[in-house]
Structure 1
Amino acid sequence: MVGPDEVLEFWLDEAGPKGWYMQDEAFDAEIRKRFEAAWEGACEGKYSMWLTHPSGVLAYLILTDQFPRNMYRGSKAAFSTDKLALAAAKAAISKKWDMKIDEPARQFFYLPLMHSENLCDQDRCVRLMKERMPVEGPSNLLHARAHREVIRLFGRFPYRNEALARHSTEPELDYVMAGGYGETVRLLQAAS
């Protein structure tokens, strides 16, 4: 059985910031090979003890929020444990456990909020990025604002529609064709 230290060592030390946001099939396959069984265990509630201390919650958030986005990229399963991650993140933030984790790893407490299709969660993510992340990391705040803008416009992330078998509206299709999220980021950068 995988322990939280194994998840943290892989994500924080082996993958590191360079690996966190890259799209690479070999990297995704490595995560599947090493952690898919643990992710399935989290789906079954086997890792609740991880939620009793800050570093355990961090590992749980990586397992339920980050890893599925790599393991199941482009499919419904990529988002299937978002609710588990969101509940764990909110509980940990309310205890200020996020502040016991150094940057840049602290951001993983806020990403479940950023991945939520709820505007209140998006607003909270922006606030937390402003208040609790380093000034020298403006891209976290930029991406939090961009995610919030998409939810303000559509109430959901249009680029998930296909994976989630949702019907896209005309404005959503226009948005995606006009550059989608990348264009939102560019416009926010230009405005700041």
Structure 2
Amino acid sequence: MTVIKDRQEWDDVLDFWFPEGRFLDVDEQTHHAHWRWRMQGGADAQIIAQFSDLTRNAAGGNLDHWAQDPHGRLALIILLDQFSRSVWRDDARAFAQDPHALSLATEGLSNGHYAALEAPWFQVVHGLPLGHCEGPDHLERLDRLIRLRENIAATAPRHLGPIYSALADQARAVRKLIAAFGRHPHRNEILNRISSAAEEAYIAEGQFPHMKAFR
């Protein structure tokens, strides 16, 4: 007998953000293209059209009950850490949800929800707030993120290993950035922060780790 899983209220978010689904036999080139789509802002228009209201609900704390389930927690992290950046692009509100997303990610790492996620792409996205949220423990969180991504790369299907090794390298690049500046300088203008001379030079180069990935 085939067991049909009841559809959950967060499944629309997961189905949209992970066209790969949950099966590990995804083609490498297709998977690479999905990552490029996720990481280079290619989904902005669709996110704004389909998920603006849901993102606002998440930002308002109205969907916190999703975090009772590992996949609901993941979907909530996506809304707060990813979709917020599309809905409020070039506005300080894009980053206002980062502490909430970080709290969800950290709790999920300690309560078994992260380990319960069956696909490496799920686990990568669950861990994003560790690197995205600025704060005094940022370097320690990035060290943890690097270890998580190294483990993902080591345990992912062999044909997908290079993709996840590259994501571990990206986390290392972000760590160097935070070690140098203590924050993400490319956000300074949006957050009305004054850039140092070194930050201005870095911003002028435009070699941001999050923009270099999967180009």
Q: Same fold (TM over 0.5)?
A: yes
Q: Quote the offset at 1:86 in angstroms.
A: 0.4
Tell me the alpha carbon deviations over residues 44-65 of structure 1, each in whole angstroms, 9 at most, x when there is no partner: 2111211011111111111110
Match of 1:104 in 2: 121
Counterpart residue type for residue 79 of structure 2: L
| 1:151-162 correspondence to structure 2 within 5 Å | 151-162=178-189
Compare the two structures and name the one with the higher helix fraction.
Answer: 1
Correspondence 1:115 to 2:132: yes
Could you state the TM-score of these two structures normalised by the residue count of structure 1?
A: 0.86
In 1, Cα distance between equivalents of 2:11 and 2:150: 28
Match of 1:20 in 2: 38
Match of 1:77 in 2: 93
Unaligned ranges ≥5, structure 1? 187-192
Q: Is the 8 A contact 1:61 1:89 kept in 2?
A: yes
Q: Quote the offset at 1:75 in angstroms.
A: 2.0
In 2, Cα distance between equivalents of 1:76 and 1:6: 26
Q: Quote the offset at 1:78 in angstroms.
A: 1.4
In 1, Cα distance between equivalents of 2:41 and 2:47: 12
Tell me the alpha carbon deviations over residues 43-97 of structure 1, each in whole angstroms, 9 at most, x when there is no partner: 2211121101111111111111011122222221211111111000000011232
Match of 1:4 in 2: 10
Other structure's SS at 1:110 match: helix
Relative contact order, CA 8 A, sep 6+: which one is greater? 2
Could you state the TM-score of these two structures normalised by the residue count of structure 2?
A: 0.77
Other structure's SS at 1:73 match: coil
What value does the CA root-mean-square deviation take over the aligned residues? 2.3
In 2, Cα distance between equivalents of 1:131 and 1:13: 23
How many residues get paired?
Answer: 182
- Tell me which stretches of 4 or more aligned residues in structure 1 moved more than 6 Å: none
In 1, Cα distance between equivalents of 2:205 and 2:36: 28
Correspondence 1:124 to 2:144: yes
Q: Could you tell which deviates more after superposition, 132-141 or 150-159?
A: 132-141
Tell me the alpha carbon deviations over residues 152-191 of structure 1, each in whole angstroms, 9 at most, x when there is no partner: 0000011110111100011111122234425xx79xxxxx
The share of aligned pairs that are identical, in percent, is 33
Counterpart residue type for residue 148 of structure 2: L
Which of 50, 55, 72 is the equivalent residue of 1:34?
50
| 1:106-185 correspondence to structure 2 within 5 Å | 106-117=123-134, 118-133=138-153, 134=156, 135-136=161-162, 137-181=164-208
Q: Quote the offset at 1:18 in angstroms.
A: 4.1
In 1, Cα distance between equivalents of 2:203 and 2:72: 37
